[in-house]
Structure 1
Amino acid sequence: MASTPMTLRGAEKLREELHQLKSVERPQVIQAIAEAREHGDLKENAEYHAAREQQGFIEGRIADIESKLGNAQIIDVTKLNANGKVVFGATVDLVEVESGDEVTYQIVGEDEADIKAGRVSVGSPIARALIGKEIDDVAVVQAPGGEREYEIVEIRYE
């Protein structure tokens, strides 16, 4: 399996979630299963079945996070020598040419993307249009409503 790019912040968030799952949620669900078993007949024991289902979700998420971290190529954006170009992990301030609207996006890995927080996936049309560009360049993005042009105002590596 090919490695997947991930920002340092994205990897840290996954590690925090993994720690929470392993040190807090997993022990809680094991305790809940033990308590539910004490109530006797497991066939009609809703608490037992709910706890077992929760345990399945927790174990699945732990495996998912461990896999993602294992396949991640973690990139510390602050240590990149990008020579003023838009690269993975960069934060880019843009102005839409037609409307004059200003937007800011950080280019992140697929699992980190959150458009409401201004984080776009490296595979998204906007990120693909921006990669390799410099300040004052215009990026043409194929949007659902047609082409949109964005002028790059600033590039930060933070």
Structure 2
Amino acid sequence: MTKTPLTVNGAEKLAAELRHLKTVERPRTIAAIAEARSHGDLSENAEYDAAKERQGFVEGRIQEVESKLANAQIIDPKLLDADGRCVFGATLDLDDQETGARVSYQIVGEDEADIKAGKISINSPIARALIGKFAGDIAEVQAPGGVREYEIIAVRYE
């Protein structure tokens, strides 16, 4: 299986989610199943069915997070030496050539992406257009509304 890039913060968040699932959600679900079993007939026990369904979800998510962490290539942007090039983990200050708006994005892994927090997926069209470019370059991004151009103002590794 191929390694998936993940920032240090992204790995910490996944590890925290895994701890929460194992120490809080799993015991809570087991208790709910035990409670529902105590009500007797399981064939028409909606509480039992719901608890078992929840258990399936929790166990599935635990496996998914464990797999992501096992296959993660954790990258610390502070340790990058990319000579000002746009790379995974870098934070970019961009100038939208059409509107003149300034935006900042950090290029992160799929699971970390959150456009409202300024984090874009490495697989997004804008990140793919920016990778490998330097401050001062213009990146053309194929957007749903047509091609958009962004000038790279600064590249930071924080």
State the TM-score, normalized to the length of structure 2: 0.96
Q: 1:135 maps to which residue? A: 135
What's the CA shift for 1:45?
Answer: 1.1
Q: 1:53 maps to which residue? A: 53
**What's the secondary structure of 1:136's corresponding residue?**
coil
Q: 1:38 maps to which residue? A: 38
**What's the secondary structure of 1:33's corresponding residue?**
helix
User: Percentage identity across aligned positions?
Assistant: 68
What's the CA shift for 1:107?
Answer: 0.5
- Superimposed CA distance per residue, residues 88-146 of structure 1 (whole angstroms, 9 cap, x where no aligned partner): 01110100112101111110111211222211111111111111111111111111111
Number of equivalent positions = 158
- Equivalent position amino acid for 2:45 in 1: N
Determine the C-alpha separation between the residues in 1 that align with 2:11 and 2:112.
9
Are residue 19 (structure 1) and residue 19 (structure 2) matched? yes
- Superimposed CA distance per residue, residues 58-94 of structure 1 (whole angstroms, 9 cap, x where no aligned partner): 0000000001111111111111111111110111010
Runs of 4 or more consecutive aligned structure 1 residues displaced over 6 Å after TM superposition: none
Q: 1:10 maps to which residue? A: 10
Determine the C-alpha separation between the residues in 1 that align with 2:14 and 2:136.
35
- Equivalent position amino acid for 1:73 in 2: Q
What's the CA shift for 1:49?
Answer: 1.0
Q: 2:112 maps to which residue? A: 112
Are residue 90 (structure 1) and residue 90 (structure 2) matched? yes
- Equivalent position amino acid for 1:80 in 2: L
RMSD of aligned residue pairs (Cα, Å)? 0.9
- Equivalent position amino acid for 1:6 in 2: L
**What's the secondary structure of 1:120's corresponding residue?**
strand
- Equivalent position amino acid for 1:143 in 2: A
**What's the secondary structure of 1:149's corresponding residue?**
strand
Determine the C-alpha separation between the residues in 2 that align with 1:4 and 1:157.
19
What runs of 5+ residues in structure 1 fail to find an aligned partner?
none
- Equivalent position amino acid for 1:104 in 2: S
- Equivalent position amino acid for 1:81 in 2: D
- Superimposed CA distance per residue, residues 11-43 of structure 1 (whole angstroms, 9 cap, x where no aligned partner): 110000000000011001101111111111111
Determine the C-alpha separation between the residues in 2 that align with 1:146 and 1:73.
33
**What's the secondary structure of 1:89's corresponding residue?**
coil
